[in-house]
A and B are shown apart, each in its own frame.
Chain A
């Protein structure tokens, strides 16, 4: 059974601080996605990483996929109130020709002005 542990569950920080969210598993994934979800809406894709050791940057957000493709991190530099939301990681894999995804439990981030 695939399992994806995400930490921390909750994070409340001041504007301008840096933070890192972690996503860990004992399973290997073909891809790892990070999503952000606003209240009353579905998750929206931020980034996909597919290669072990891959680093992607999206403005102040830096995403890294572990060398063994079992873990990932999201780092936010100089957080802003607009970064507030629920961040979800999701591991994807293919089995018997079908694609499945498993989600972490989420990190609820609140950035205070």
Chain B
């Protein structure tokens, strides 16, 4: 267990509001990733980080931003939430080794 905590676990928000999801790791892994999981699409990469303040876009990055000011924390922000962003969001750590996942955040945008 890589000691990954995601918060909150569940959130309901309204369209147009900003939302921030947090991922905290205790294993000092260099790489951190944000994925979203939707039926029929599997896990799709939103953004990833390869070090403090070093981030890059994944395949579905539109409408999302990230920040990593400390090794242990990786934040995902939905700048203005839309219904299409209703999903389960997973944080993972790794890079050069198998990924370790948190237990996800279920986000509903109404």
A residues adjacent to B (C-beta < 8 A): 1, 6, 33, 35, 40-45, 48, 88, 90, 94, 97-106
Contact = CB atoms under 8 A, between A and B. Distances in A.
B43 A103 contact: yes
Per DSSP, chain B at the interface is strand
A67 B50 CA distance: 30
Given A90-B99, A99-B96, 13 more contacts: A33-B98, A40-B103, A40-B104, A41-B104, A42-B90, A42-B101, A43-B101, A88-B42, A98-B56, A100-B48, A100-B58, A103-B43, A103-B44
A90 B35 CA distance: 13
Given A41-B104, A98-B50, A105 B99 contact: no
Nearest to A46: B98
A101 B40 contact: no
B22 to A, nearest CB: 15
Given A98-B56, A100-B48, A45 B40 contact: no
Interface of B: 4, 31, 33, 35, 40-45, 48, 50, 56, 58-59, 90, 92, 94-96, 98-104
Contacts of B100: 45
B101 A44 contact: yes
A42 B42 contact: no
A109 to B, nearest CB: 15
Contact of A99 (B35, B41, B90, B95): B95
A45 B99 contact: yes
A45 B43 contact: no
Contacts of A48: 98
